[in-house]
Each structure stands twice: as C-alpha cells, then as structure tokens.
Structure 1
Amino acid sequence: MTTLTETARVRTGRRRRPWAALPLLAVPLAVALVGPWLAGDTSPQTDVLPSQAPGAGHVLGTDVLARDVLSLVLHGGASVLGSALGALLIGLVAGVPLGLLAAGPRRVLDEAVMRTLDLLLAFPGLLVLMTLAATGHRDWYWLVTVAGLLQVPAVARLVRGAALAPGARTVVEALRMQGHGWAYVHLRHLARELAAPLATDAAGRFSVVLYLLASANFLGLGLPASSPDWAVLIERNSDALFTQPAAVLVPAGLLTALCVGSNLLVDRTLARRRGQR
C-alpha cells in the first residue's frame, strides 16, 4: 500500500513538473518582448568609462563602447527571439510538406526528394553562413532565411520517418481504400500522428537554430557589431570578462535559459500528457 502511494505521489509530482520550466523560460521571453519598451538609450555615453563595473546609474555597468549594459540587454532579446522563431518557421513550413511528399506511395519521388535534401544536409551550417557573409549578404533576412533552410532536411526526415511508421502506414492504406483524398489523410490523420514528434523536435531545433544564429553573430557573420543582440554583446565584451563580467554573463545566461527552458517545457508537457493517458 505504501509503495502504491509513493508511486502515485511520484507520478503526480512528474505531472506537475512541466510548469517548473515556465520561470526559466519566462525570464528571457519577458526581457525579449517587454524589454524594448522599458529600455533606455543605447548610444555611447561620454560621462562614463568603457567596461565600467556596475554601480549607481548603471545597474549592470557599461560595455566596451561605454553603453549601458542593462539597456542593451533589454533591447537585444527581440532580435534573438525573432530570428530564431523566423528560421524555425521557415524550416517547418518547407520541411513538413517535403517529408509528407517523400512518404507518399511513389518510390521515385521519395528518392528524388530525400537525395536532394541529403546534399543540403552535407553542408556545415557555419560554413554556409561564412560563405554568405563573404559574398556580402550580411542582412538580417539573409541570415534567418539560410538558417531556416538548413533545418529543412532534418525536419523532412523526421516527418517522413513518422509518416512511414508501420501503424501509420496501415491506417493510411485503409483510409485511401475508403476513398479519402490526400488532404484528409495528411492534414487530418497524419497531422495528429506527427504533432508530438514535431513538437519535441521543434523545441530541440529551436536550440539548434538559436545556437547557429548566435554563433554566426558571435563570429561577426550576421548582425553588425553595434547591434544590441545578446550574442553580439558576448562577442564584443569577451575581452572584458574579468573586469566587467556582467556584460558577458547576463546575455549568456539569458540565451542559456531560453534554450533550456523551451526544451524542458515541451518535454515535460508531452510526458505529462502521456502520463494522463
């Protein structure tokens, strides 16, 4: 009896744990969404020194250009969140239809789609972004578009694999024999089957996209050096890590919380739904 009670408590605790990820995710989201409305001036100031430690008038100190770090952090989250979500959306919008197309009954079409995507999968993401920057395409939309297209092969492979699962294939064959069209089979039946794996992959892929974009900005391949983007702040102030650590640790902590919080929330939510079933 005690064992059953303890097991029930453990299961109940696991079901409640998804919401423990909310504070971790809520902080960087709140900074990214509300921060620009609360931030002050981000231009260099003449009355303070560069890389000044936190003190009166500057809660987080100043960066290497004598700009207020708190204002920069509040401004920089919008570009991080917008770029990552935009690239992720491009990958899903292009990858899901291609995966469903490859999972169709035509073997030739499957081979053509997947082998073409394999060519794109072979290119390292940072190498593609470096080539893009070398050709002069450093605009924000180029960076987001290419980062999103680099996710298409992985998304398409996931969708194809889930749609070709034995159980799903049997049901699909039955639905086709009953006269249901492509839209009904793929947009109604398979959409429900793909919801859970796509949600899990999207959370992990969000971290991948965020890492790719942050790495590009850190290496100077994306946004200009004067941008308040969190990754740019880390790169510009890395030399002053020991004299002004807040300029590096605060944006780095927000990036980490955004990645970990999104993954935890999706994983725990899906685990909670499985437990309820």
Structure 2
Amino acid sequence: MTTPSETGDLKARGAGTTRFRLPWIALILLAVPVATALVGPWTAGDPSAQQDALPSQPPGGGHVLGTDVLGRDVLALVLHGGASVLGSALGALLIGMAAGVPLGLLAAGPRRGIDETVMRTLDLVLAFPGLLVLMTLAAAGHRDWYWLVTVAGLLHVPAVARLVRGAALAPGARTVVEALRMQGHGWAYIHLRHLARELAAPMATDAAGRFTVVLYLLASANFLGLGLPASSPDWAVLIERNSDALFTQPAAVLVPAGLLTALCVGSNLLVDRALARRRRQP
C-alpha cells in the first residue's frame, strides 16, 4: 500500500513522462506531412504522365497506393499534393498576420476614435461566414490559387487584430510608453519596436493555433470544389474526387485524409504544449 507521499511522487513522475513524450508525438505527427510536402515533389514522378492504368485500382501492379478515379498513381499524387496544402495555409496565415497586427496596434493606440473606426469596420468583415465568401468568389469565376489564399487570409484579419489590440492595451498604458511619447518617439517606434516585444509570445502561440483554422478553411473550400481545380493533386481535392471509391480503393482517400489529420493534430499538440509551458512559468 502506497503512502500519500509515494502517490504524489508517482503522479509527478507520470506527469513528467507525459510532458516528455507529448512533444515527440506532436513532432512526429507534424514532421510526416511537412516532410511529405517539402520533399515529396522532388522524389515523385509527374502524376499527370501516369495515366496508363485503370481507374480506382487497389495497391499493386506497380502502384504502391493504387490509382485514383482518373487512373493516376496515388503515391505520386500524395507526394505532390502537400505543397499546395502547406503553401496555401502558410500564405493565408501570413496575409492575415501582416494585415491584422498593424491594425490591432493602431486600434490599441491612445485615440479612441481610431479604435472605434478600426474595430467596427473589422466587425463587418467578421460577420461574413468564410465558406460563404469563398462560394461567392467561386461563383464569380475567381477560382485561382492566389484568390483563394488572399481571401482566406483577409477573413482572419479581424480575429488577429482583436487579439493584438487586447494584448497591447495593458502594455500600451504603462509609464514607459508615456515616457517614450514625451521624448518625441513616433507611433512606429513605440508600437513596432517596444510593444512588439511584449506581443511576441502571444502572437506566436496564436499563429500556431490559427494555422489549423486556416488549414481547415482552405481544405473545406477545396473539398467542396470552391478552390483548386479537380485535376489538382491537393490532398483535400483527392479526398473529394475519390470519396465515391472509398470502399473499392480506400488508400486514395485515407492516405491524404491521414496526412491532413496529422498536420492538424500535430500543430494543436505543439500549441497546447506551448500554452502549458507558459502556465508553468512563474
């Protein structure tokens, strides 16, 4: 029978083991799809040139993962499709951050009128559902990759600006900021140099978590046929195109779906780890 102190030691060791293993699990889950997206296009052949096989064939006959509904090699498609997934998600995230951070800092300034104008304008953007905007964009004929990425990034500007504004209000009211204003330093120096250091940690955590949200929006748009063309090797497009052949050729659906899931879960686990580490800090 264990004593209370021994029970506490066991719990502490178990918690320590969990804290030790969790980053490795997250890194493995994240490394597999990222490595596939970065290295895959260099190691795989051209999937469009491999259409001599029958459609929706199971693995075998020279095709490790079988063929898709168009008779293309699934392995080559998967190796090529991660680049668009990772590139579009990172591009949309950078657009949202590049526009949202300056607007949030501007709203957190001392002028109340600017704060109200910026935030109420962003509230109008926040009221539009993301998929509805992308559906309207597709109906207007704007299905190019850069349109999808740009609009997806702009849809996240209000959320990023709200976070930056909330995080910058308290540091912006400190005595050191007032002293910098009295010394004649301008808005750019105070906000982009001084306050930016205060916002680095929360913004990095939010960016890691927001990456999953952006990825979900883009994958949903591609799955619904609102983004990339049907011939694209993008993982979400592969899932949508081969969903009818799930039971006859499951690899064409489960492999890209597993890579998307690993990318999302790995990112979320790393964000949770970062948040837990911040909470443990005194």
Contact 2:90 2:211 in 1 (8 A): yes
For 1:9, give the aligned amino acid: R
> What per-residue deviation string (whole Å, max 9, x for no partner) do you get for residues 98-152 of structure 1?
0010011111000000000011111111111111111111111111000000000
CA distance in 2, matches of 1:59, 1:44: 16
What displacement does 1:46 show?
A: 5.2
1:129 aligns with 2:114: no
Taking structure 1 as the reference length, what is the TM-score of the superposition?
0.92
Gaps of 5+ in 1: none
- Count of residues in correspondence between the two structures: 274
1:32 aligns with 2:37: yes
The CA RMSD over aligned residues, in Å, is 1.9
1:157 aligns with 2:162: yes
Relative distance call for 1:58 and 1:198 in structure 2 (3 A) is: same
Moved runs in structure 1, 4+ residues, more than 6 A? none
For 1:174, give the aligned amino acid: V
- 1:90 is matched with which residue: 95, 107, 110? 95
Q: Which residue of 2 is the match for residue 13 of structure 1?
A: 17
Helix, strand or coil at the partner of 1:105: coil
Taking structure 2 as the reference length, what is the TM-score of the superposition?
0.90
Gaps of 5+ in 2: none
For 1:197, give the aligned amino acid: P
Helix, strand or coil at the partner of 1:75: helix
Helix, strand or coil at the partner of 1:67: coil
Relative distance call for 1:259 and 1:214 in structure 2 (3 A) is: same
> What per-residue deviation string (whole Å, max 9, x for no partner) do you get for residues 17-67 of structure 1?
323310000000000000001112312645421000011311110000000
Helix, strand or coil at the partner of 1:164: helix
CA distance in 2, matches of 1:25, 1:219: 25
What displacement does 1:10 show?
A: 4.5
> What per-residue deviation string (whole Å, max 9, x for no partner) do you get for residues 193-249 of structure 1?
322222222122111111111111111111111000001101100100111111001
Contact 1:196 1:270 in 2 (8 A): no
Contact 2:239 2:253 in 1 (8 A): yes
For 1:262, give the aligned amino acid: S
- 1:196 is matched with which residue: 185, 198, 201? 201
Q: Identity of aligned pairs, percent?
A: 81
Q: Which residue of 2 is the match for residue 248 of structure 1?
A: 253
- 1:265 is matched with which residue: 267, 270, 274? 270
- 2:60 is matched with which residue: 33, 55, 61? 55
Say which is worse superposed, 20-29 or 200-209, in terms of deviation. 200-209
Q: Which residue of 1 is the match for residue 47 of structure 2?
A: 42
Say which is worse superposed, 201-210 or 267-276, in terms of deviation. 267-276
Contact 1:18 1:272 in 2 (8 A): no
What displacement does 1:250 show?
A: 0.6
1:185 aligns with 2:190: yes
Say which is worse superposed, 121-130 or 38-47, in terms of deviation. 38-47
For 2:93, give the aligned amino acid: L
1:139 aligns with 2:144: yes
CA distance in 2, matches of 1:225, 1:102: 42
Contact 2:51 2:72 in 1 (8 A): no
Q: Which residue of 1 is the match for residue 243 of structure 2?
A: 238
Q: Which residue of 1 is the match for residue 178 of structure 2?
A: 176
What displacement does 1:271 show?
A: 2.4
Helix, strand or coil at the partner of 1:221: coil
For 1:175, give the aligned amino acid: V
